[in-house]
Chains A and B, each alone.
Chain A
Amino acid sequence: EDQVTQSPEALRLQEGESSSLNCSYTVSGLRGLFWYRQDPGKGPEFLFTLYSAGEEKEKERLKATLTKKESFLHITAPKPEDSATYLCACYQAGTALIFGKGTTLSVSS
């Protein structure tokens, strides 16, 4: 069964304390991996798409990387406004997106 697993479920950081979120997948024939950010009471907001192993994308304090088995979302010197749930989703040809359950990040000042 195709699966997308995110870890940790929850992460608490101090402002400025860098860390990484993990998304491991067993989807065969991956065509794309997506990262979304979701704030409480809102719909997910698109962050990145990665298409092939070795690819990296950056946006402000976030950097996403992809290997053949997992993706990491690196957060450098986070700020309280980075607090949110980060969702990972995988796409394989002919099927719908498969979402992980998310990592809830809390950044305190």
Chain B
Amino acid sequence: GAGVSQSPSNKVTEKGKDVELRCDPISGHTALYWYRQSLGQGLEFLIYFQGNSAPDKSGLPSDRFSAERTGGSVSTLTIQRTQQEDSAVYLCASSPRTGFFGEQYFGPGTRLTVT
């Protein structure tokens, strides 16, 4: 079946612009996660959605970052007033299990470059 898809695959933006990154999870998966992977760093948790519950936003690095999930499926990560330190690969994952207890299925990521 179809895996997790993300778009765009690459995004180059100027400092100060807003960007939107999209994630389509595996159909039927109720849990959705966003991570950030910077060069030489481990994956950094950003936000977690579970069904219709309030999202776990504990990993968002600043109030410039926000995310929403519509209809329990597609999710959008928005970064406002982008900074050069926001340059990274943004990964989305989904899981058929709740929390962080189960295996997660990752998309290919969106490479964001802020110039």
Contact = CB atoms under 8 A, between A and B. Distances in A.
Interface of A: 4, 31-32, 34, 36, 41-46, 49, 87, 89, 91, 95-102
B107 A101 contact: no
Given A42-B108, A43-B4, A43-B109, A99 B103 contact: no
A102 B38 CA distance: 12
Classify the interface of chain A: helix, strand, loop or mixed: strand
A4 B45 contact: no
Classify the interface of chain B: helix, strand, loop or mixed: loop
Interface residues of B, number: 23
A17 to B, nearest CB: 26
Contacts of A96: 45, 48, 56, 58-59, 100
Contacts of B44: 99
Interface of B: 4, 40-45, 48, 56, 58-59, 91, 93, 100-109
5 contacts: A42-B108, A42-B109, A91-B100, A97-B45, A102-B42
A101 B40 contact: yes
Given A43-B107, A46-B104, A96-B48, 20 more contacts: A41-B108, A42-B109, A43-B4, A43-B91, A43-B108, A43-B109, A44-B91, A44-B104, A89-B43, A95-B100, A96-B45, A96-B56, A96-B58, A97-B100, A97-B104, A98-B42, A99-B42, A99-B43, A100-B42, A101-B41
